[in-house]
Structures are given as C-alpha cells and as structure tokens.
Amino acid sequence: RIRKLLSGIKAVDNTPGLRCAFSPRSVLGQLFRTRINTSFFCNPGTDFLWLLRRSLYKETDIVSVVPYIMGKPLVYVSAMEALPQITGFSSPFDKQSWNLADNIVGENIVTAQKEKWKRHRKILSPAFSQKTYESVWDETRGIYRDMVASEGWGNKSAVFIPVINDLTAKFSLAVLSTCAFGIRFPWSAPMYAKGEQLTVQECFHISVKGAPIRALAPSWAFTLPLEKLRNIDVAFKSIFGFIEAQIAHRRATFGHEACEGGLRPKEAFNLILNANEESAKVKFQDSEVVGNTFTIFVAGYETVGRVLAATFCLLGLYQEEQERVYQEIMTVLPDGRDPTVNDFESFAQVQRFFFESMRLYPPAVQLVREATEDVVLNIPSRIPGGLAQNVAIKKGTVTSIDILGINYNPRHFPEPESFKPSRWENPAVTDMVMGFGYGPRLCLGRKFALVEVICFLVMFLRDWKIEVDLEEGETREDWRERMMTGKIELTFSIGPLPIRLTRRI
C-alpha cells in the first residue's frame, strides 16, 4: 500500500491534495464515502469537488487525489490558463483510453478518442444547424403552452411548485426528444418504455444517477435482492428497450430507400440511423447507434433540466435581477407578440442571468482527460505575484479541468460566491462560460441548449413572477446554502427545489 501511495504521488509530481483508500472513480470509493475535511484517510467520493469548492485549492490551481488501495492517481486543475494545455486542439491529452461507459451504452461521440471521434462529430454535426434552432425555439413555445394548460395553471393567479426540478427535466426531455429524435409526447401523457411501469424520464433519471454503479459493479451484483441495484438494472434495461423500439419504428417508417434518397430530415436520430445503412459513406456500427442515441439523450436532457432548476431559484432569490430581466422582455415584446428565434440576441439580460446561474451551478463539473505522453503543465499561482508552477504528469494520468474550481476561482471571478449577472456584460467574457467545455470537444448542443433555455425563460417570465420562501431571518445566501445543495453524479444536480409563481398578466 505504501509503495502504491508513493508511486502515485510520484506520478503527479508530489502535487498536494487528498490521499485516500479508494479513488472517487472506483466502485468502493463511490459506495463508501467518508470524511472530506481531512486530507488523509478520507474517501472523498465524487461530491468533494462541490463540497470543497472554497478550500480545495490553496496556493496553486492544481491538486491531486492519490489512492493507496484502489484506483489510479488523479489530477484536478482550476485554472483557465490550463485549458489549451489539457483540452486544446493539439494538447497531449485525450479522452480516456478505456471508458467503462462504452461497455454499458456503446461507443459514442462523448467518450470516443480523437481519431474515432472525428467520425462521430462529422456524422452528427449537421443536426446542429440554424434550421434545428428555429425548430427548437418554436417547439419550446408550444411545449410551454402545453405545460401551462396541462398543469391546470391557465386560470390560476398563483401556483406553488414543490419540486421545480421535475418540471424542468420534463420540459427539457420534451424539447430534446421532439427536436433531436422526432419523438413527440404531450405534457399530459409522458412516454413509457414499452411494458414498463416507469416513464422514460424516470428511467433516464435513475440511469444517470446509477451510471457509475452500473459501470463499476460486476453483473452478478444486479441479481442480488438489493432494491437500489435492481432499480438501476431495470432502468437501464427499459431505456435500451425504448431506444431499440424507437430505432425499429423509425426504420419501418422511413425505409432504407428514403435514407438513400435523403428524405429523412437532418435531425440527430436520422443522421445516426443513416450512418448505419449499408450505403453510408461515413458509418456507425450497430453499437454506436445505441451509444450515440443514449448519449445525446443524456447529454441534452439532464444538463438543461438541471441548470434551469437552479436558474428558477436564483430568479426567485434575486428579485431585482428578475425585474431587470422582465423589463428587457417587455421592451423586446412590447405589443404582446410571441418571441421568435430572431429575437434571441435581443435577450442579452436573460442570457447573462443564465450564464451566471450556470457559473454557480454548472451541470457538467469536469472535463476528464488522460495524458497521452509524459507532459509538463504550467499552472499559475493563486497568490497575487506568486510564481507559476511546472508540474510533470506521467503518461496515462487522468487529469480533469475542474469547472466548479474555475467558476469559484477568485482570480477568474472576483467574489465568486456573489450572484452577479453583470459580470457577463463584456461580450469577450462569454469565452469564460466554462459550462459547455472548451476546445475541439466543446459541447455540440451549446446553441441548442441556449436557444431552448432563453425561449423558455422568456415565455415563462413574461407570464409569471417567481419567488422562493425564505424562513424568518434567513438571508438569500443562507437559503442557497440550505436548499441548493449539490450532488455530483454523471452530471451535477441540486435540490429538490420549491418555487412559487404569481401571474403577471
């Protein structure tokens, strides 16, 4: 054990940090989390990036986690200056060479390494076009209206929503399944996986929460009479059943000739299926069809739903900022007309509010890479005027850009805990929106997500004033600390969060 620890510390060039029994990326590390307020003999689990966001980095913007029983050493970096070095176009880092997710869902655009990834990106990129964004905007408007009617808010002057997370998740699933997969479902009749009791939304939710366990635990573990493991197994099986049924249905609907004649619209699902045809020039294998379908559902649904839930609460907390957003909406739409996709750029204040929400509560908290050769990272000092540090990383070391670390780094964002949408007033600063990643692997759905979020917020805030209930004597910051507690699963989630609505018009 001592030898393992010492060689781990050497692999990360003696970079200070946590020393633990089990890696946060191992099954035991996930299951048996212990103290994190000590740097030794702790099992930090995955939440430590959130729980220690204020104290993890001391003098430099780099820390290591070195396990002495299970798992490999890990490096985390919270400096924007390191982005080109780790996630840039010609950086000596790549996605992990062995990714457990591939074994569960099949190889896909998110996990593929550089050379294979180019093929995935080439096939899928045409699905993210101006035409798609127009459809996202229009569908969002329609889904908002369907939601208001189906929830029975039509003639109410006030509404209490006990868990806004459920609503925003349902909304983002509806937009994604319609605009990327051509699968439409009414708000009042959620999709069910065939023959299952759980909705597709519930299955995705359980799968995303349980993905690390599903990936790391042996298959016999899922036959044990343990409810948690059984639920994860059922959720994954249901999702795969759902995806396979959708693939069969789409093939039957369009047929092979339709594909060759280019009759399928360029939505993500059709491009995935086209690439699986005999005649396709750039091809997907069968496993990549399922892998990419599953991945785009997860990448595009959980992320948007989660950050929207945080945004709603921050709107409720920071009333003066909500008013500023509302005034902008009324200025752009003074005559009561519906917003169109051409109005997108006019909602600058709405966008700033959203960027600041995503800075504090980013749905994706890290960009995970693996060193493809021995490499020296140059990391600036946290202390003003301090010397930068060169850190030698061994080939194969998993090194992550810590998005939470960057977003709460006072060098990049002064008073990082303060909620200040005005930070984003300088257009050049939008390059600092870390939540969508950086470099060649920048989120392919960035504009898709922004269009859907901005349209939804505009429609919602025009009709409703949002509030949250503070306890007596409680400050907004106290409420955030009490209610907006985070958990790092495949994505980062907060809550469950309650909000209150009052009708404006």
Q: Are strands 492-494 and 389-393 parallel, antiparallel or unpaired?
A: unpaired
Q: Exactly one of 312, 318, 436, 492 binds ligand HEM (CB under 6 A); which one?
A: 436
**Distance of alpha carbon 488 from alpha carbon 249, whole angstroms:** 35
Smallest gap from residue 72 Cβ to ligand HEM (A): 18
**Distance of alpha carbon 475 from alpha carbon 495, whole angstroms:** 18
Q: Exactly one of 76, 318, 448, 464 binds ligand HEM (CB under 6 A); which one?
A: 448
**Distance of alpha carbon 344 from alpha carbon 409, whole angstroms:** 30
For ligand HEM, the closer of residues 232 and 268 by Cβ is 268
- In order, the DSSP letters of 389-414 are EEEEE-TT-EEEEEHHHHHT-TTTSS
Any residues with CB less than 8 A from the CB of 399 and at least 6 apart, and which? 74, 75, 76, 77, 86, 93, 369, 370, 371, 377, 393
Whose structure tokens read 């939540």? 435
* Greatest C-alpha distance within the chain: 72
Q: Exactly one of 24, 300, 339, 421 binds ligand HEM (CB under 6 A); which one?
A: 300
The answer to whether residue 291 forms part of the interface with ligand HEM (CB under 6 A) is no
The answer to whether residue 443 forms part of the interface with ligand HEM (CB under 6 A) is yes
Tokens for 221, please give them.
């573990």
The answer to whether residue 49 forms part of the interface with ligand HEM (CB under 6 A) is no
Q: Exactly one of 66, 307, 341, 483 binds ligand HEM (CB under 6 A); which one?
A: 307
Phi, psi of 32 (to 5 degrees): -115, 75
The answer to whether residue 305 forms part of the interface with ligand HEM (CB under 6 A) is no
Any residues with CB less than 8 A from the CB of 252 and at least 6 apart, and which? none
The answer to whether residue 364 forms part of the interface with ligand HEM (CB under 6 A) is yes
The answer to whether residue 68 forms part of the interface with ligand HEM (CB under 6 A) is no
For ligand HEM, the closer of residues 68 and 448 by Cβ is 448
Task: Check if the beta carbon of residue 346 is closer than 8 Å to that of residue 473.
Answer: no
For ligand HEM, the closer of residues 21 and 309 by Cβ is 309
The answer to whether residue 296 forms part of the interface with ligand HEM (CB under 6 A) is yes
The answer to whether residue 455 forms part of the interface with ligand HEM (CB under 6 A) is no
Output the residue with the shortest Cβ distance to ligand HEM: 445
Task: Check if the beta carbon of residue 77 is closer than 8 Å to that of residue 392.
Answer: no
The answer to whether residue 449 forms part of the interface with ligand HEM (CB under 6 A) is yes
For ligand HEM, the closer of residues 449 and 458 by Cβ is 449
DSSP class of residue 421? G
The answer to whether residue 435 forms part of the interface with ligand HEM (CB under 6 A) is yes
For ligand HEM, the closer of residues 110 and 494 by Cβ is 110
Smallest gap from residue 228 Cβ to ligand HEM (A): 27
For ligand HEM, the closer of residues 61 and 452 by Cβ is 452
**Distance of alpha carbon 30 from alpha carbon 35, whole angstroms:** 13
The pattern of x and - marking residues 384 through 403 that bind ligand HEM according to CB under 6 A reads --------------------
Q: From residue 432, how far is each of 172, 304, 366, 403, 424 by CA, in Å?
A: 24, 19, 15, 11, 9
The answer to whether residue 486 forms part of the interface with ligand HEM (CB under 6 A) is no
The answer to whether residue 143 forms part of the interface with ligand HEM (CB under 6 A) is no
For ligand HEM, the closer of residues 17 and 437 by Cβ is 437
Tokens for 477, please give them.
């910051």
**Distance of alpha carbon 280 from alpha carbon 276, whole angstroms:** 7
Smallest gap from residue 121 Cβ to ligand HEM (A): 5
The answer to whether residue 363 forms part of the interface with ligand HEM (CB under 6 A) is yes
Task: Quote the distance between the C-alpha of residue 100 and its chain's center.
Answer: 18
**Distance of alpha carbon 289 from alpha carbon 468, whole angstroms:** 43
Q: Residue 146, Cβ neighbours under 10 Å: how many?
A: 16
Report helix, strand or coil for 482. helix
The answer to whether residue 299 forms part of the interface with ligand HEM (CB under 6 A) is yes
For ligand HEM, the closer of residues 210 and 291 by Cβ is 291
> Would you give the end-to-end CA distance of the chain in angstroms?
66
For ligand HEM, the closer of residues 217 and 310 by Cβ is 310
The answer to whether residue 29 forms part of the interface with ligand HEM (CB under 6 A) is no
Smallest gap from residue 306 Cβ to ligand HEM (A): 8
Applying CB under 6 A, the site for ligand HEM has a residue count of 23
For ligand HEM, the closer of residues 65 and 268 by Cβ is 268
Q: Exactly one of 8, 437, 486, 495 binds ligand HEM (CB under 6 A); which one?
A: 437
Tokens for 165, please give them.
């997370």
- Listed residue (290, 297, 253, 296) closest to 275, CA to CA: 290
Q: Between residue 161 and residue 180, which ones bind ligand HEM under the rule CB under 6 A?
A: 176, 180
Q: Which stretch binds ligand HEM (CB under 6 A): 196-204, 220-228, 278-286, 295-303?
A: 295-303
- Listed residue (390, 503, 364, 339) closest to 445, CA to CA: 364
Site residues for ligand HEM per CB under 6 A: 109-110, 121, 176, 180, 296, 299-300, 303-304, 307, 363-364, 367, 435-437, 441, 443-445, 448-449
